[in-house]
Amino acid sequence: MTTAILERLSTLSVSGQHLRRLPKILEDGLPKMPGTVPESDVPQLFREPYIRAGYRPTGREWRYYFFSLFQKHNEVVNVWTHLLAALAVLLRFWAFVEAEGLPWSSAHALPLLLYVLSSITYLTFSLLAHLLQSKSELSHYTFYFVDYVGVSVYQYGSALVHFFYTSDQAWYEHFWLFFLPAAAFCGWLSCAGCCYAKYRYRRPYPVMRKICQVVPAGLAFILDISPVAHRVVLCHLSGCQEQAVWYHSLQIVFFLVSAYFFSCPVPEKYFPGSCDIVGHGHQIFHAFLSVCTLSQLEAVLLDYRGRQEIFLQRHSPLSVYMACLSFFCLVACSAATAAFLRQKIKARLTKKDS
């Protein structure tokens, strides 16, 4: 009995020693987090206009950049806005599934599933780009190319649900034949334009780079939002009180505001060095784009639930499956375009270093 007690006390003593060492073990296991640096300490590629400080040093281990999620730097708000938005999309959709008992194998549900997948994809790819791009020049290009693939996927996912759930009959009768093929092409063009602009132009970026980014993305938005805009205008003119239409209206407003902050470096242009960590235009763009996506999700869920009869009258299961198959074709084309330009970037960087 005495021996057993002594053995137990010895075990507790060893466990206590381990517990006392735990803070040291954790400290040794985490990367040393160097402070952020001014713009003069990072290569030109990583510098943003009017952002003077808050940059993470390049060339660290990967875990440093992952753990910088919890560090104060000039990208952390960009990361957290889309991380929280992705979680919000996932939780809201899961609550809807629990409440409605979504039939996963139904053709009616397939566009909704692809839309939610595309939303989480673009938000995840975006936060990874902002979190990890500082590792090296090749990482910078790679993760932003991945980000652009996510944008094109989200554009087409939005086009699918706007076409199948949101469009009214008058719009549908005029545009049903070419809307989705045109949306797929514009989604790919948006990815190709952004990737090419990133590949072609160097900092400080000329206006042409912004044109290569904004014009294809703008065309994709105008096309993708056309069934929504048509329904919103007709609804407001007739004095309707559809709840989904109000969420669609908010979606349009939030996107237009986000587009302004994406295109214009404000307010940091007027307060250089004062918006480095919090408050610069790209962060505001992220915030408004996040609430745009959440408004869109709410509207789409209402349309999915309330307009099922219209869906069944218009679309056969085969037509839905074919349209949704094109989603994966767009993913493949956009990914191939990004991979091709990444290889050209890699060859250019290798040549520069040799």
Domain residue ranges in the chain: 73-353
**Distance (Å, whole) CA 151 – CA 197:** 15
- Is 286 marked as a binding-site residue? yes
Q: If you compute the radius of gyration of the chain from its CA atoms, what whole number of angstroms results?
A: 24
Give the mean pLDDT of 98-110. 91
Q: pLDDT grade, residue 102 (50/70/90)? A: confident
Beta bridge partners of 37: 55
Between the two ends of the chain, the Cα-to-Cα distance in Å is 73
- Length of the chain equals 354
- pTM here is 0.90
pLDDT tens-digit map of 51-95: 999 999 999 999 999 999 999 999 999 999 999 999 999 999 999
pLDDT at 28 over 60: no
Which of 2.70.98, 1.10.20, 1.20.1070, 1.20.1270 would CATH assign to domain 73-353?
1.20.1070
- pLDDT for 17 beyond 60: no
Q: Which residues contact 34 (CB under 8 A, 6 or more apart)?
A: 57, 60, 64
Q: Tell me the per-residue pLDDT of 335-344, one tens digit each, with 9 for 90 and over.
A: 999 999 999 9
Is 130 annotated as a binding-site member? yes
Average pLDDT score over residue span 202-219? 89
Please list, in sequence order, all residues whose beta carbon lies within 8 angstroms of the beta carbon of residue 221, skipping any fewer than 6 positions away. 155, 255, 259
Distance CA 276, CA 231 (A): 41
**Residue 233 in this model has a pLDDT that exceeds 50:** yes
pLDDT at 219: 96
Beta carbons of 213 and 144 less than 8 angstroms apart = no
- pLDDT score of 25: 52
Kindly state the average pLDDT of the residues 220-245: 94
Rounded Cα–Cα distance for residues 332 and 187 (Å): 12
Q: Provide the token pair at 103.
A: 């039939």
The structure tokens listed for 152 are 């094109």
- Is residue 23's pLDDT more than 50? no
pLDDT number for residue 27: 45
The DSSP line for 124-156 is HHHHHHHHHGGG-HHHHHHHHHHHHHHHHHHHH
DSSP sequence for 295-306: HHHHHHHHHHHH
As a whole-number percent, the residues of the chain with pLDDT over 90 amount to: 84
How far, in whole angstroms, is CA 156 from its chain's centroid? Answer: 13
Q: What is the pLDDT of residues 180-210, one digit of tens each?
A: 999 999 999 999 999 999 999 987 788 899 8
Residue 19 predicted with pLDDT over 60: no
Closest CA to 233 of 277, 316, 167: 167
* Residue 10 pLDDT level (bands cut at 50, 70, 90): low
* Least confident segment among 5-9, 58-62, 146-150: 5-9
Check residue 30 and give its pLDDT. 55
User: So what's the pLDDT on residue 57?
Assistant: 97
Question: Residue 354 carries which side chain, given as an amino acid letter?
Answer: S
pLDDT in tens, 262-298: 999 999 999 999 999 999 999 999 999 999 999 999 9
**pLDDT at residue 11 tops 80:** no
Position 330 pLDDT exceeds 60: yes
Query: pLDDT at residue 240 above 90?
Result: no
